[in-house]
Structure 1
Amino acid sequence: MRARTRLAVGAAGALTTVGLLTACGAAGSSGTEAPEQAASGAGCDPVAGDELVVLDDDKKLQDTDNVIPAVNADVATPQLVAALDKVSAALDTPKLIQLNKAVDVDRKTPAVAAADFATANDLTAGIAKGPGGRIVVGAGNFSESQTLAELYKITLIEAGYQVTVQQIGSRELYEPALEKGEIQVVPEYTATMAEFLNTKENGQNAQPVSSPDLDKTVAALKIAGDRAGLVFGAPSAAQDQNAFAVTRAFADTYAVRTLSDLAEKCSGQATVLAGPPECPQRPKCQAGLVQVYDFKAGSFSSLDAGGPQTKNALKTGAASVGLVFSSDGALAAG
């Protein structure tokens, strides 16, 4: 589904969510763990199952990464920003999951999925006309970004603009194009973009400006945007974050619904954590689980970042808990 850089670190069977959706990101190989994260106790053996559930990040390990429109300041008229904010107002995480399912599971094009969503949610109602002109909406090289760009296109056309969508690639390519005005609008993510601009200006070791508090993250993002010639619209309720998942059978067997539950009941030798190779040392992944929750897995299985390998390991009983993405279309119930 995606190929994009997250703050921390793209199957068969329905997946549903338990509570709020969360995030992760550190190195290791199958059956290994960071020495300081050695586990004691029995732990929780993996339990195979076709349905996955996402555990609630009840202590807020992850920063907020809500979808937000980014705009070149030269074209950011009140009417243009208001049209983009219509998309933000209509989106939440369950709806974003359904949009991704339409494209990644049901194989609709991003344009068709966006048009269906716009009709179902009366997206163009009440949009005021702007000054018009040509607008290029950039999109990242993953389907969610392309679908969001198509939603922006729909509202901007209603506002009187001539709009095209252009797939640019990674943030390292499209953000400079946005600053230069080569593209005028792009769908972004609050915490990820805040840290991208922060490290771009202040270096890779800059003190983080994002947090689990959305208002604080957006405030920091807008300050950085002002210096870069960028304007940000309203954040949506939809988040695309990393998340820790288990099978429904695992959750029921061990009565686990939150990451605190996982830490309390499943720290120990039998518990297998699956994720990308960089997970064990990352502060938003295994290292963060140790620091924030005192969760200590018995072993780590180096697989992929929210991809088919990790999901398959959970479903086949090779892993107890694994990294997925909170807006993955596979999370759609039914």
Structure 2
Amino acid sequence: MIRLRPHRPAAPVLALAAGAILLLGACGSPGSSSQSPSDGASDSGGAAAAAATCPAIPDDQLVVLEDDQHLQTVDNVIPAVNAAAADADPGLVALLDSVSAALDTDALVALNKAVDVDRKTSADVAAEWVEAEGVAPSESSAGQGRPIAIGAADFSESATLGNIYAAVLKAAGYDATVVTIGNREAYLPALEAGTQIQVVPEYAGTLAEFLNKAANGADATPVASGDLDATVAALTSLGADAGLTFGAPSAAQDQNAFAVTQAFAQEHELTTLSDLAAACQGLVLGAGPECVERPFCQPGLEEAYGLTFSDFRALDAGGPLTKAALQQGEITLGLVFSSDGALAAG
């Protein structure tokens, strides 16, 4: 299953620790894609009998525990490009790849904080980031004034990424604009046609499964996994049939993640979900009500990590209810999103 990518709220969100430990690189839309737990499940379940029952510890600061068994499907930010536009302009993808090379999850969290918490515009935040990272090319004539339109979905992270692409392309001499075209069902046909938009910031795992189901039916065998290279290979093949090509995936991910309070993590010396399974059992899990059935959520945590839960609280998927319940000590483990701007809020 693929989680639905939520709209980023404009209102301030609850503060989380800036030092959150995030899953990066090759190790799972809004809503991130998810996979069924693999056969290589953690052996932490064997230590479950010896693990203690650990009560929640209230704390305003939260940290994300690393998904070291790769329960989640990779969902790295990746530039999706109309294939005809890329063929006509060989330098286009290389410019977008310069963004991927500079972008990681910590940077994405900071970008989202600037927009969603600090209330800056996506265009201003993008321009500041491009300048600070030195991503803009020194050669300003490559685009020769050619028009190019970057599509963005209707949530702030996509708008910010689209504006970053546009800023880099403008610096290279393109007449670049950002066009907001709703959800994937609306913008993907426009990208495939290549007349209204030619580039979109996408998410590798989620798009791979979207194209997979479009081509092979709703019950198609999943092609996205916790393996970034394999997921991008599947995405590239499916994209070619749809008239799309892709740049290099960035290290930045927007995917499901699980958080505890910083005080709880420090008390039990936790950095990974395997650490949690070895130290604690009988946890109280908080997430959206669908978590009890989704393979990336409670069933996956039980199978891949051997975690046990004494209670489940139906709250929201990575939203303020779950984060508040963690902070107030009502739950010990909560579902959040890895690029949530609140992860950088102090």
Calculate the TM-score normalised by the size of structure 1. 0.88
Amino acid at match of 1:242: N
Deviations 1:197-238 (A, max 9, x none): 111111111111112121111111100110000010111111
Q: Is the 8 A contact 1:80 1:159 kept in 2?
A: no
The residue that corresponds to 1:150 in the other structure is: 163
Equivalent of residue 250 in structure 2, options 218, 225, 236? 236
Equivalent of residue 292 in structure 2, options 280, 297, 305? 280
Q: Is the 8 A contact 2:52 2:279 kept in 1?
A: no
Question: Considering only aligned residues, what root-mean-square deviation do their CA atoms show, in Å?
Answer: 2.1
Equivalent of residue 146 in structure 2, options 127, 133, 151? 133
Equivalent of residue 240 in structure 2, options 226, 240, 255? 226
Map 1:14-25 onto structure 2 (within 5 A): 14-21=16-23
The question of 1:311 aligning with 2:323 is answered: yes
Aligned mates of 2:94, 2:52 — CA distance in 1: 54
Q: Is the 8 A contact 1:133 1:162 kept in 2?
A: yes
Aligned mates of 2:333, 2:257 — CA distance in 1: 10
SS of residue paired to 2:181: strand
The question of 1:121 aligning with 2:133 is answered: yes
Aligned mates of 2:23, 2:328 — CA distance in 1: 23
Aligned mates of 1:50, 1:73 — CA distance in 2: 47
Q: 1:25 to 1:48 in 2, by over 3 A?
A: farther
The residue that corresponds to 2:45 in the other structure is: none
Calculate percent identity across the aligned residue pairs.
57
Q: Select between 105-114 and 56-65 the one with higher mean Cα deviation.
A: 56-65
The residue that corresponds to 2:78 in the other structure is: 68
Deviation of 1:79 (Å): 1.1
SS of residue paired to 2:284: strand
The residue that corresponds to 2:69 in the other structure is: 59
Aligned mates of 1:187, 1:53 — CA distance in 2: 27
Equivalent of residue 205 in structure 1, options 219, 235, 257? 219
Q: Is the 8 A contact 2:109 2:344 kept in 1?
A: yes
Deviations 1:271-300 (A, max 9, x none): 210111111111111111111111121111
Amino acid at match of 2:14: A
Amino acid at match of 2:64: V
Aligned mates of 1:43, 1:173 — CA distance in 2: 48
Equivalent of residue 188 in structure 1, options 198, 202, 217? 202
SS of residue paired to 2:335: strand
SS of residue paired to 2:191: helix
Q: Is the 8 A contact 1:88 1:235 kept in 2?
A: yes
> What stretches of structure 2 of length at least 5 have no aligned partner?
35-47
Deviation of 1:18 (Å): 4.7
Aligned mates of 2:227, 2:63 — CA distance in 1: 24
Q: Is the 8 A contact 1:43 1:297 kept in 2?
A: no
Q: Is the 8 A contact 2:22 2:105 kept in 1?
A: no
Q: Is the 8 A contact 1:91 1:237 kept in 2?
A: yes
Deviation of 1:333 (Å): 6.0
Q: 1:20 to 1:159 in 2, by over 3 A?
A: same
Aligned mates of 1:199, 1:247 — CA distance in 2: 37
Deviation of 1:19 (Å): 3.8
Deviation of 1:14 (Å): 3.7
Q: Select between 143-152 and 176-185 the one with higher mean Cα deviation.
A: 176-185
Deviation of 1:131 (Å): 5.8
> What stretches of structure 1 of length at least 5 have no aligned partner?
27-38
Amino acid at match of 1:147: T
Deviations 1:155-203 (A, max 9, x none): 1222332222111111111111211223211100111111111111111
Map 1:24-39 onto structure 2 (within 5 A): none
Aligned mates of 1:143, 1:159 — CA distance in 2: 24
Amino acid at match of 1:291: E
Aligned mates of 2:316, 2:128 — CA distance in 1: 32
Map 1:167-182 onto structure 2 (within 5 A): 167-181=180-194, 182=196
Q: 1:125 to 1:161 in 2, by over 3 A?
A: closer
The residue that corresponds to 1:322 in the other structure is: 334
Amino acid at match of 1:225: G
Q: Is the 8 A contact 2:151 2:179 kept in 1?
A: yes
Q: Is the 8 A contact 1:14 1:52 kept in 2?
A: yes
Q: Is the 8 A contact 2:14 2:323 kept in 1?
A: no
Q: Is the 8 A contact 2:20 2:62 kept in 1?
A: no
SS of residue paired to 1:152: helix
SS of residue paired to 1:278: helix
Q: Is the 8 A contact 1:25 1:279 kept in 2?
A: no
Amino acid at match of 1:5: L
Deviations 1:240-270 (A, max 9, x none): 11110000111122333211122222221xx
